[in-house]
């Protein structure tokens, strides 16, 4: 279905369900899904959260929003009611305001997780409640949902912080890195992270490894001036103080839905599916890095005389275009996992990959806007940017993308499906 047709359907959906006893028509205020995702992005930037922390937060906020909205609609006997993500609809108020419930749910998650920004969250909740109707039932229900989502995620493997020591043998990542507890992060929607853990990089003495090293030795070399490669790396670099790589895909979804708005239930479902897919790539990614503990290209190239491979040549002066070596083991690329999962989730939701959009990331040059013909095109560029920066090998990008797509496929096929009627149309789960 084209975006223009979807826009018409969204409008008709809102009008129909605004009848008595149905979902209220859109308020003149901002869409709560959009507003609270913008606040989640702001939180990640302001508090300088890691990519894993960010992905977990985006999932919690959007699962709470979805369960708050879906709970009220399910209690009204909505024909399109769906399975819950974490919080069942059993005690939801049938006549609460879904928009206020969405705002209150997100508010409860964010204030509970990051109380230092409570004043900011309170201000947005005040605006959303001011546009509400139907008394306090929606707000109370949303607050309960948000609190329950937080309770259900307590002890989920995201804390306490753990580190893995660096190694000194050939092939091993040299520095200590923190956050390795996220290898145990409990999934939101997949059954287990285990099937998605990487199978490992090619052997150091293999031709495949030598070929990959030779490629990045040129492609990511800081001594070779390439303005396009540097711009692409910078656009997708997304380090501390940005919305992080998962946040870029929240921004993609915001861009697409700004161009073609969705009704509240569908907006909430899209962002919940996306948030869960991004978070559920975390454990496979961190586990893979932890298990294989592979050295980054800079170390591999400088110390190629130790790898036992007759087809690699050392260059002690080699430096990556990115400037830094990388803060975690090389295999595999987290940018590639997140991007593949994000792109595949969006394509599954829209039943199409080739949906154009424009994007500006937090690390883009001032005023830079990039336009993409499809979700997969952006995901490929995001992952390949790590080769442009000289901080990942191609096999790590490719293996990570395959895992990200597989995580997204499991979630699309099993999560938040209709309670009644057909749930799949070809390859498009509903």
> Does the pLDDT of residue 367 top 70, yes or no?
yes
Q: Give the confidence band of 430 by pLDDT, cuts at 50, 70, 90.
A: confident
Q: Which of 74-78, 245-249, 424-428 has the highest mean pLDDT?
A: 245-249
Q: Give the confidence band of 29 by pLDDT, cuts at 50, 70, 90.
A: low
pLDDT at 135: 75
pLDDT digits over 325-359, tens only?
999 999 999 999 999 999 999 999 999 999 999 99
**Strand partners of residue 163:** 178
**Per-residue burial over 4-29, b = 16 or more CB atoms within 10 Å of its CB, e = otherwise:** eebeeebeebbeebeeeeebbebbee
pLDDT digits over 226-244, tens only?
999 999 999 999 999 999 9
- Backbone φ and ψ of 329, nearest 5°: -55, 155
pLDDT digits over 170-192, tens only?
999 999 999 999 999 999 999 99
Using only C-alpha atoms, the chain has a radius of gyration, in whole angstroms, of: 22
Q: What is the DSSP letter of 424?
A: E
Q: What is the DSSP letter of 115?
A: G
pLDDT digits over 135-146, tens only?
799 999 999 999
Q: Give the confidence band of 322 by pLDDT, cuts at 50, 70, 90.
A: very high
Token readout for 336 is 């590639």
Q: Rounded to an integer, what distance in angstroms lies between the CA atom of residue 226 and that of residue 30?
A: 42
Q: Are 379 and 343 in contact (CB under 8 A)?
A: yes
pLDDT digits over 256-289, tens only?
999 999 999 999 999 999 999 999 999 999 999 9
pLDDT digits over 394-422, tens only?
999 999 999 999 999 999 999 999 988 77
Q: Rounded to an integer, what distance in angstroms lies between the CA atom of residue 188 and that of residue 181?
A: 16
Q: What is the DSSP letter of 368?
A: -
pLDDT at 5: 40
Mean pLDDT over all residues of the chain?
Answer: 92
- Domain ranges, ordered by start, for the chain: 24-152, 163-429
pLDDT at 426: 65
pLDDT at 307: 98
**In this structure, which CATH number among 3.30.390.50, 1.10.606.20, 1.10.645.10, 3.40.47.10 belongs to the domain 163-429?**
1.10.606.20
């Amino acid at each position: 279905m084209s975006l223009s047709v979807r826009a018409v359907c969204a409008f008709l959906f809102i009008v129909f369900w605004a009848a008595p006893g149905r979902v209220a028509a859109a308020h003149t205020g901002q869409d709560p899904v959009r507003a609270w995702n913008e606040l989640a992005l702001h939180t990640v930037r302001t508090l300088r959260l890691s990519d894993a922390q960010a992905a977990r937060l985006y999932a919690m906020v959007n699962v709470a929003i979805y369960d708050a909205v879906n709970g009220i609609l399910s209690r009204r006997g909505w024909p399109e009611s769906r399975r819950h993500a974490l919080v069942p609809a059993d005690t939801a108020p049938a006549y609460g305001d879904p928009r206020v419930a969405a705002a209150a749910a997100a508010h409860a998650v964010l204030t509970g997780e990051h109380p230092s920004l409570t004043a900011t969250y309170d201000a947005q909740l005040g605006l959303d409640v001011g546009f509400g109707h139907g008394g306090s039932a929606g707000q109370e229900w949303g607050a309960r949902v948000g609190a329950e989502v937080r309770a259900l995620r307590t002890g989920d493997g995201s804390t306490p912080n753990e580190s893995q020591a660096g190694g000194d043998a050939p092939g091993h990542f040299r520095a200590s890195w923190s956050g390795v507890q996220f290898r145990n992060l409990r999934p939101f929607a997949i059954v287990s992270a285990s099937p998605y853990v990487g199978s490992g990089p090619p052997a150091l003495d293999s031709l495949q490894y030598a070929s990959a090293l030779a490629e990045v030795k040129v492609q990511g070399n800081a001594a070779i001036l390439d303005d396009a490669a540097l711009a692409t790396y910078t656009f997708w670099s997304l380090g501390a103080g940005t919305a992080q790589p998962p946040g870029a895909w929240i921004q993609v979804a915001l861009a697409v839905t700004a161009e073609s708005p969705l009704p509240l239930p569908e907006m909430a479902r899209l962002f919940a599916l996306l948030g869960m897919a991004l978070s559920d790539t975390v454990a496979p990614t961190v586990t893979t890095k932890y298990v294989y503990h592979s050295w980054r290209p800079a170390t591999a190239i400088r110390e190629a005389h130790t790898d036992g491979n007759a087809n690699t040549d050392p260059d002690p002066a080699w430096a990556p275009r990115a400037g830094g070596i990388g803060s975690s083991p090389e295999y595999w690329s987290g940018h590639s996992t997140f991007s593949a999962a994000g792109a595949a989730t969006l394509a599954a939701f829209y039943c199409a990959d080739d949906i154009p959009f424009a994007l500006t990331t937090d690390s883009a040059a001032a005023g830079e806007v990039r336009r993409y013909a499809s979700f997969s095109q952006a995901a490929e560029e995001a992952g390949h940017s790590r080769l442009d920066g000289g901080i990942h090998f191609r096999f790590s990008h490719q293996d990570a993308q395959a895992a990200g797509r597989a995580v997204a496929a499991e979630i699309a096929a099993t999560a938040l499906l209709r309670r009644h009627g057909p749930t799949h149309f070809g390859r498009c789960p509903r």
